[in-house]
Structure 1
Amino acid sequence: METNRIEYKQILTDALEKEVIAFLNYKEGGIIYIGIDKNGNVTGVADTDGDMLKIKDRLKTNISPSCIGLFDIVSEQRNGLDIIKVIVASGPEKPYFLRKYGMSEKGCFLRIGTAAEPMPQKNIDQLYAKRTRNSISKIKSNQQNLTFEQLHIYYLATGVKLNGKFSTNLELLTDEGAFNYVAYLLSDKNAVSIKLAKYKGLNRVNLIENNEYGYESLIKATKQVLDKIELENKTSAEITSKERKENRLWNPIALREAIINAFVHNDYATEVPPKFEIFDDRLEITSSGGLPEGLSQEEFFEGFSVPRNKEIMRIFRDLDLVEQLGSGIPRILETYPKSCFKFSDNFLRMSFPINKVIQTQDYKDGPIGGPIGGPIGSPIGSPIGGPIKNLTDRQKEVLELFREDPKLSRRKLAEILKINVSAAQGHIDALKDKAVIERVGGTRGKWIIKEGY
């Protein structure tokens, strides 16, 4: 049934913008389902793709301030019928309003119970007085001779070619038409340094490795940090007479979500970038800025989304670095407890303990590397009559798809398997960790399947 965060619509109507505005102005955001009647009965949508395009265009055109980056539109199936799910985050620049009616009671709405109600003028004035004024989209870049070759390349890799109006479409300009701080962060060269440090021990006394990324597009810096921590996320094994169990130091899907969350939600207005630190017993990720105003810790853990940098969120989603709004924290909590998160007024720190697995073996069938597969004393993981084929059914399915199409992208893989892109990347990472596949040629390359598989 409908709730304060869920709205059902049997068909796409003229009232859609009003409902979206009500959720944008509500502290928790909300979800609108199209193709479900008021009683919760699934009726379906006849033209899913067409309606999704209409929704995107209407929300982009008819709502002010811009809500691009604050909503997701996805298709789902229920009872064999197609429906549309519009996920709306709570906006940081309240009040939002219908552009044609302006900031008035006729144009502003708020979610009250299960309805979108007109907002009293007093509330409108109060929200406007609190409106975020240090948004990085409103801060003029101290450099205006910016270039965006890297940004163009990353979009091109997803099949999208940016046109001459990309700086306007991606909201890289201030109201006066100058490049803003978002543009500065995404430009080919900037002065933003991202540090990844490694320490010997449990504190910051003995620094053994100091990596510095950044001074370039935030997207490239993000990918570099992801790649570096992927290398650090080694696999340990527990071998018994019956099976080999492999465990990575950290859950790769949760870790990826945490890293990207730190980049997307960092408060860059403070000019303090996120930092990453590896200790003997844990990995710490620290981002600037506490919880957004109006968002409690419990709401944070439940996945309510209040994007601090909606422009960066939008671009990261365009490039498949981010999934649906609000999906990151619940995905992390599938593996790690809430106690891994530490909040302060100015920072958010995520601390992930190392998953230590002692390499052991049941000796009933002889010592490690003994009669079953190689000379006594051969290393753990040596071939036992050939490669160790401990793949899950899903990993075998992914392997067969790569065999059929070595150039298959992770986005296409996710579509075929009917899973999200992060989950598809998790299966790819697992196959790479097991030395089953190898990528050659970068983003335009192909997958090589190792001999024996």
Structure 2
Amino acid sequence: MELGSESGTVAFKTDMRQLDKGLISLTAMVNRANHGTVYFGVDSTGYVSGLQVDAPLFDKIRYAVRKNILPRLTVDVVEHVSTDGKSYVSVSAAGFETPYSYDGRYYVRNSVNDDMATPETISRLVLARRFDAMKETEAYSQDLTFETFGALMVSHGRRPRRDRGYYNTIGLLTREGDFNLNAYLLADRNSVRLQVTEYYGTTKEAFSKITDYGGKCLFTAMREVYDRVKMRNQRTVNTDQGVRAGTALFDAECLKEAWFNACLHNSWRTGIPPMLSIFDDRFEIESVGTIPFGLPQEDFFGGRSMPVNESLYNLASSLGFNEHVGRGVPLVTDRYGRNTVRIKSGTVTVTIPFAFEPAWVADREWTAEYGMPVSPQEEEVLDYLLFYTDAKLADISENTGLNLSSVKRIIVKLKSKGLLENTGTNRNSIWQVSSSYRRD
């Protein structure tokens, strides 16, 4: 009788003298594919040669597994009998807490070979565990409430309940029934800080400010960051050849996909949240993690989806945060090029470049050279008052072509900018234009 051929998840060993090699193959397969089976009493061609099976043999296998494989791996040991009456044994396992070691060493299945894992491979296995680590990581606090998350679910037609059975169904509890890391991230209060960091220039040398959006339900904080940053979008207008066309500063949809994906695929067990940085020429979104182990880079850039935090990802999908599975990376690379996604040193960085110089950069540069920036209408008012310091509001309106309500509004703005003061009584007011306002 023949069992076929060896593969990435199947290995054959002739007898129990190859027990160590067989269990090395098992850990290598689990590290690669999260499951595997080793047959003892079967030669390398798949032919059942048979072996003597008794109770001590089962004990020997289980003891070797307990002694040598870490983290603990539960195995299923089964005796089989071939059609010609020969006994053989299968040892099967499924595990998701990769990487697993055998006798202190790590192996990864490569076709039908068991290769020693390099330090880089081990790091990738740790950062890109295929199992849902979020579900089995106990929350830092068990005193959690979910009013905000519950309201989000109701707004999407769900009917959340406040009981452990429901929390378990949606992935908020560990196997032991405690709140897990998913629950902590989605709770009304937590210590997770989503931050937007701003810099002057195109490097991190000149720091401007940090805005904190954390301490609340992750989904709410994600949306707040995106909504606030999206407001920075601007549009230039080109009327060449009589056609009115506009160019946006950045693609808002690319920004949304990149930011939401960073939050949902971040390696949250490190305790490091994703960050959005604003430079003069781009956004940068950085998260902790890497391409899932076993997922070719071409498949990653092609849009193949392999969620690292599957239960969190599924909850986000049900609430409309990622409507198109696998869409994010191709959307960004098709729009901005493949080099905008950088994967290195356990981090993923996505760059969203600006199409032109943002107004806030131009304003800052103008302010540095000339003082507080002003609009064309404000310039008209200031230019007039430089020469007619005793002008009335009606005079300003008549000579600038601005209506009276606009003049009043502009006067208030100029005062708030420190560019204009007036002294004296209402009837005999004297205007003083700040010396920081200079005209070429």
TM, length-normalised to structure 2: 0.53
In structure 2, what is the Cα distance between the partners aligned to 1:187 and 1:313?
16
Which secondary structure does the structure 2 equivalent of 1:179 belong to? coil
Cα 1:126–1:184 change in 2 (3 A) is: closer
Cα 1:122–1:332 change in 2 (3 A) is: farther
In structure 1, what is the Cα distance between the partners aligned to 2:224 and 2:76?
46
Cα 1:127–1:311 change in 2 (3 A) is: closer
The Cα shift of 1:327 comes to: 2.0
Match of 2:151 in 1: 153
The Cα shift of 1:323 comes to: 1.7
Match of 1:117 in 2: none
In structure 1, what is the Cα distance between the partners aligned to 2:174 and 2:33?
15
In structure 2, what is the Cα distance between the partners aligned to 1:123 and 1:303?
32
Counterpart contact for 2:153–2:159, Cα < 8 Å: yes
**How is 1:147-296 mapped onto 2 (pairs within 5 angstroms)?**
147-164=145-162, 165-240=165-240, 242-296=242-296
The Cα shift of 1:296 comes to: 2.6
Cα 1:157–1:129 change in 2 (3 A) is: closer
Counterpart contact for 2:36–2:94, Cα < 8 Å: no
In structure 1, what is the Cα distance between the partners aligned to 2:168 and 2:33?
19
Match of 1:320 in 2: 320
Query: Deviation per CA, 1:37-60, whole angstroms, max 9, x where unpaired?
Result: xxxxxxxxxxxxxxxxxxxxxxxx
Match of 2:135 in 1: 137
Which secondary structure does the structure 1 equivalent of 2:242 belong to? coil
Counterpart contact for 2:199–2:278, Cα < 8 Å: yes
Letter in 2 for 1:147: T
Counterpart contact for 2:260–2:322, Cα < 8 Å: yes
The Cα shift of 1:338 comes to: 0.6
**Structure 2 unaligned residues grouped into runs of 5+:** 1-8, 10-30, 38-73, 79-88, 101-128, 360-375, 379-440
Counterpart contact for 1:238–1:357, Cα < 8 Å: no
In structure 1, what is the Cα distance between the partners aligned to 2:94 and 2:193?
39
**1:94 alignment partner, one of 23, 34, 56:** 34
The Cα shift of 1:333 comes to: 2.4
Letter in 2 for 1:316: A
Letter in 2 for 1:310: E
Which secondary structure does the structure 1 equivalent of 2:197 belong to? strand
In structure 1, what is the Cα distance between the partners aligned to 2:153 and 2:334?
31
In structure 2, what is the Cα distance between the partners aligned to 1:331 and 1:103?
42
Percent identity, aligned pairs only, is 27
Cα 1:129–1:264 change in 2 (3 A) is: closer
Letter in 1 for 2:181: Y
**Structure 1 unaligned residues grouped into runs of 5+:** 1-24, 26-90, 107-119, 360-376, 380-453
The Cα shift of 1:179 comes to: 0.1
Query: Deviation per CA, 1:156-175, whole angstroms, max 9, x where unpaired?
Result: 11122212443112110000
Cα 1:176–1:236 change in 2 (3 A) is: same
In structure 1, what is the Cα distance between the partners aligned to 2:215 and 2:300?
31
The runs of at least 4 consecutive aligned structure 1 residues that moved more than 6 Å come to: 102-106, 126-129
Query: Deviation per CA, 1:195-242, whole angstroms, max 9, x where unpaired?
Result: 101111111122223211111110011001111111122222223351
Q: Which protein has greater RCO, CA pairs closer than 8 Å, 6+ apart?
A: 1
Q: Over alpha carbons, which structure has the higher Rg?
A: 2
Counterpart contact for 2:75–2:92, Cα < 8 Å: no
Letter in 1 for 2:195: K
Counterpart contact for 1:262–1:285, Cα < 8 Å: yes
Counterpart contact for 2:280–2:358, Cα < 8 Å: no
Letter in 2 for 1:157: S
Query: Deviation per CA, 1:291-330, whole angstroms, max 9, x where unpaired?
Result: 2211232121011111111111111111111123212212
Q: Give the total of aligned pairs.
A: 256
Cα 1:175–1:200 change in 2 (3 A) is: same
The Cα shift of 1:123 comes to: 7.0
Counterpart contact for 1:317–1:323, Cα < 8 Å: yes
Match of 2:416 in 1: none
The Cα shift of 1:134 comes to: 8.1
1:351 aligns with 2:356: no
Counterpart contact for 1:213–1:221, Cα < 8 Å: yes
When you count helix as a share of all residues, which structure comes out higher? 2
Cα 1:337–1:96 change in 2 (3 A) is: farther
Q: Which is worse superposed, 200-209 or 168-177?
A: 200-209
Which secondary structure does the structure 2 equivalent of 1:258 belong to? helix
The RMSD of aligned alpha carbons is 3.3
Cα 1:125–1:321 change in 2 (3 A) is: closer
Cα 1:126–1:309 change in 2 (3 A) is: closer
TM, length-normalised to structure 1: 0.51
Cα 1:168–1:208 change in 2 (3 A) is: same
Counterpart contact for 1:92–1:307, Cα < 8 Å: no
